[in-house]
Each structure stands twice: as structure tokens, then as C-alpha cells.
């Protein structure tokens, strides 16, 4: 009894004697011209051409040319084509950021344009990028945007890490200059920024330790490196054991397996997403009698250095 597929025709392994030799002609790959002519009335074709020109100009570093192409593309995009419209608007915002057109870049990334959680996350990250490329950047705007990111994606350790680093940079800058933030608000006072930096690093450490249980290879190594950074940051900030314990209790309250598994942020709809304020979600949960524990001493603040 033969098993199906267990036998072969001997002719498969014999060399072909009658096979004619075929000469392969030289091959020249087709090239896409950078300046495609627009001799068409098709709006879709015009959209594609302008989009291609913009992407090519960005790759070449010609941001003004890219901005012009994206602007032309925008008027040919159908109202129901939200994906391409989002892509072009983000491209325009990046170009404006590179060209120093901060106000226009901010206008292009208005959060009201967000259609789902993925889009909102992208816009918030773009705002962080815009703040980074602004010469007058004081870190306060990045702190506000990163707080929104952490509220939107509370179990992402890397957003918490970025927020903690930004707070520490802001605190170090104002300590070295001997000034306070221009806002003169309690939210951005030195002790409040110090508190946020400590809390964010603690939250990052908690999340990374949870995620480590499911990681391996280079992903695990990245988490281990980040955990080492957290330990070094907390040694610089010197929160002290009472403060460390009080902040850990607050920042770990929602870190339960059931809640993390049932994350409702599916990336498709904003209707179920509640962007609670950062203070309401975490700071207001700090017990009143622990307030004195969360105020850094002058010598602790003085040891903080910019990252």
C-alpha cells in the first residue's frame, strides 16, 4: 500500500536533454518620475499625484515644497476619505513644525479632528514632537500633552517615562535658573513638578515589572534597561520612603489584571473613552493627611539635574 505522495516520477530527477537554452535579455527597472504631469480632470488622480509629490519632498528634506504639495492635495480629497485627509494634515503639520510655523502647526493638529483613539494618540504625539522642535519650548506644554496621553493610555509605560523625564527636565531647568515657571500656577510649581516626576517614574516602574512577566529577548532587555533608568531617576529625586510608599499606593490602584485585560481603548471609537483630568484621576486620590509627605525638602529639589 502506497501513501499518497510517497512516490516520485524518476523523470523529475533526470537532467533534461531537450531543454532549449533561453537567453535572458537585459532588464531595466521602471522609474517613477518625480514631477508627474497633471493632464487629467480626475480628482482622485490629482490627489495621488500631489500626495506623492509631498511625500517625495519630505524625504528630500524640502519641507516648503512638501507643504505646498500637501496643501494642493487637501482640496482634492473626498470628504468621506478620512484616512488620507488625516495623513495629509499630519504631513502638513510636520512640515510647518520644521519650517518654524508653530501656530499653523498647532492649528492643523486640533484634537477636534480626531476620529478614533489611534488618531487622537497620533495627534498628541505629534504635538509633543512640535514642542520639541520649538526653540521657545519650556516643557510645560509637553507636560500637558503627555498627561493627556497617560490619561488616554494609562497602561503604556513609555508615555509615563516620557512625562517623568520631561517633568525632571523642567524642574532642573528652573532650579538652575533660580526661577519659577512663567505660569505662576500651583500646577507648575517646583514641588508639584517634583511630585509628578516621582509619581511618573514610580508608575513606569510598576508597569514595566508587570509587563516583564510576558516578555523575552530584546523586549525584556529594553524593559530591564528602562527599570535601571527608573532607579537612577528616583535616587536623583530622593522622594524618601514615606513619600515613595504614599505615591506607590496611588499610582498602583488601577493596576489590576482584570482592568488591564478589559482595556476599552480599542482604537476605533472615542465614544467610550473618558479623558479625565490628570489631577482627578490620580492626584485627588492622595489622602489629605499624606499631603505633608508629598512636599519635597529644599535640599532634595536642589539635587535635581536636567537629564
pLDDT tens digits along 9-66: 555 455 555 555 555 566 665 555 555 556 677 888 889 999 999 999 999 999 999 9
106 and 149 in a single domain? The answer is no
Residue 12: CB atoms within 10 Å? 6
Q: d(Cα 37, Cα 125) in Å, to the nearest integer?
A: 35
More confident residue, 144 or 72: 72
Q: d(Cα 235, Cα 215) in Å, to the nearest integer?
A: 26
85 and 146 in a single domain? The answer is no
Domain limits at 302?
138-257+270-307
Residue 125: CB atoms within 10 Å? 17
- What are the CA-CA distances from residue 286 to residues 92, 129, 151 (Å)? 42, 32, 17
Q: What is the pLDDT of residue 223?
A: 86
148 and 297 in a single domain? The answer is yes
- What are the CA-CA distances from residue 17 to residues 10, 13, 96, 156 (Å)? 15, 12, 67, 64
- 6 is a domain residue: no
- 97 is a domain residue: yes
pLDDT at 201 over 50: yes
Reported confidence tier of residue 300, pLDDT bands at 50, 70, 90:
very low
Instruction: Read off the pLDDT of residues 217-248 as tens digits, 9 standing for 90 and up.
Output: 888 888 888 999 899 999 999 888 888 888 89
- 167 is a domain residue: yes
Count of domains in the chain? 2
What global pTM score does this model have? 0.64
More confident residue, 287 or 247: 247
- 222 is a domain residue: yes
CATH of the domain at 45: 1.25.40
278 and 212 in a single domain? The answer is yes
155 and 231 in a single domain? The answer is yes
Q: d(Cα 22, Cα 241) in Å, to the nearest integer?
A: 79
109 and 218 in a single domain? The answer is no
Q: What is the pLDDT of residue 303?
A: 40
pLDDT at 189 over 60: yes
Q: What would the mean pLDDT of 296-307 be, rounded to a whole number?
A: 41
Q: What is the pLDDT of residue 19?
A: 52
- 156 is a domain residue: yes
Q: d(Cα 111, Cα 123) in Å, to the nearest integer?
A: 7
Amino acid at each position: 500500500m502506497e501513501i499518497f505522495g510517497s512516490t516520485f516520477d524518476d523523470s523529475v530527477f533526470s537532467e533534461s536533454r531537450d531543454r532549449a537554452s533561453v537567453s535572458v535579455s537585459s532588464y531595466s527597472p521602471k522609474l517613477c518620475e518625480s514631477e508627474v504631469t497633471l493632464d487629467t480632470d480626475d480628482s482622485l488622480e490629482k490627489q495621488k499625484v500631489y500626495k506623492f509629490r509631498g511625500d517625495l519632498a519630505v524625504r528630500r528634506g524640502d519641507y516648503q515644497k512638501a507643504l505646498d504639495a500637501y496643501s494642493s492635495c487637501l482640496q482634492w480629497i473626498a470628504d468621506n476619505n478620512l484616512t488620507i485627509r488625516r495623513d495629509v494634515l499630519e504631513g502638513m503639520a510636520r512640515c510647518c513644525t520644521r519650517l518654524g510655523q508653530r501656530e499653523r502647526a498647532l492649528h492643523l493638529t486640533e484634537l477636534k479632528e480626531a476620529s478614533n483613539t489611534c488618531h487622537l494618540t497620533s495627534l498628541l504625539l505629534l504635538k509633543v514632537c512640535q514642542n520639541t522642535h520649538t526653540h521657545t519650548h519650556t516643557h510645560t506644554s509637553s507636560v500637558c500633552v503627555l498627561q493627556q496621553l497617560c490619561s488616554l493610555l494609562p497602561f503604556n509605560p513609555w508615555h509615563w517615562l516620557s512625562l517623568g523625564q520631561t517633568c525632571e527636565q523642567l524642574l532642573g531647568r528652573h532650579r538652575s535658573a533660580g526661577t519659577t515657571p512663567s505660569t505662576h500656577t500651583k500646577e507648575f510649581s517646583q514641588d508639584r513638578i517634583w511630585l509628578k516626576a516621582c509619581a511618573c517614574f514610580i508608575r513606569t516602574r510598576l508597569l514595566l515589572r508587570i509587563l516583564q512577566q510576558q516578555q523575552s529577548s530584546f523586549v525584556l532587555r529594553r524593559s530591564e534597561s528602562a527599570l535601571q533608568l527608573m532607579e537612577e531617576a528616583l535616587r536623583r529625586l530622593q522622594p524618601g520612603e514615606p513619600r515613595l510608599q504614599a505615591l506607590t499606593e496611588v499610582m498602583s490602584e488601577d493596576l489590576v489584571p482584570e482592568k488591564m485585560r478589559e482595556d476599552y481603548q480599542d482604537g476605533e471609537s472615542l465614544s467610550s473613552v473618558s479623558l479625565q483630568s490628570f489631577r482627578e484621576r490620580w492626584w485627588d486620590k492622595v489622602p489629605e493627611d499624606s499631603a505633608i509627605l508629598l512636599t519635597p525638602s529644599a535640599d532634595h529639589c536642589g539635587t535635581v539635574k536636567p537629564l
